[in-house]
Amino acid sequence: MKKKSLHLDGIDKIIIKNLIEDARTPILSIAREVGISGAAIHQRLRKLEASGLLAGSKFVLNPKVLGYKTLAFVGIFLDAASKYSAAIKRLKEIPEVIESHYTTGNYAIFIKILCRDNEHLMNVLNHEIQNIKGVARTETFISLDQHIDRQIKI
């Protein structure tokens, strides 16, 4: 069965743009901007959610306020490809690991981790990640600053 492509009209794009900028934007405010009823906005949002385009809404925590000031990316080399599933299962148990990606190239797994400081990072690397069965070695990149943080443009 061929998957039907999603068509976004101008109203859908305005709704999405408003909610990406601030997920707490009142529906009635958006409705007034586009000149349709709040109920029509809700209906369009349900359609966009059902299509899979909108994958929910969430609050974004500022990790620095919680004391997490070191962001790092870690490339993980496995000693065998067959260890991938077990390694991922174990990485999910480490709260500092906030993203993981199965990648092409040098690394089997590429992760993003948040730590309080460099000492915490070293501890997570040495006592958690590098002790996972199947992890041959790691390569770590500490992020000094982030200049771009955005979603795909519609």
Is residue 46 within 8 A of residue 76, CB to CB? The reply is: no
H helix or E strand, kind and range, residue 12: helix 10-21
Q: Is 25 exposed, middle or buried (0-12, 13-18, 19+ CB in 10 A)?
A: middle
pLDDT at 3: 59
For every residue of 31-100, which 3-state class applies, written as one string? HHHHCCCHHHHHHHHHHHHHHCCCCCCCCCCCCCCCCCCEEEEEEEEECCHHHHHHHHHHHCCCCCEEEE
Annotation: CATH topology of 70-143: Alpha-Beta Plaits (3.30.70)
Rg (alpha carbons) of the chain, rounded to whole number: 21
Query: 144 vs 10, 26, 80, 141, CA distance in Å?
Result: 38, 36, 32, 9
> What are the tokens at 117?
């400081």
Q: For the segment 6-61, what is each residue's pLDDT rounded down to a tens digit? A: 899 999 999 999 999 898 999 999 999 999 999 999 999 999 999 999 988 888 89
pLDDT at 48: 94
Query: 136 vs 39, 82, 83, 87, 121, CA distance in Å?
Result: 55, 13, 11, 11, 18
CATH 1.10.10.10 domain range(s) in the chain: 10-51
pLDDT at 32: 96
Q: What is the reported pTM? A: 0.84
The CATH classification of domain 10-51, taken from the options 3.90.550.10, 1.10.10.10, 3.40.1390.10, 4.10.410.60: 1.10.10.10
For tokens 């943080």, the residue is: 149
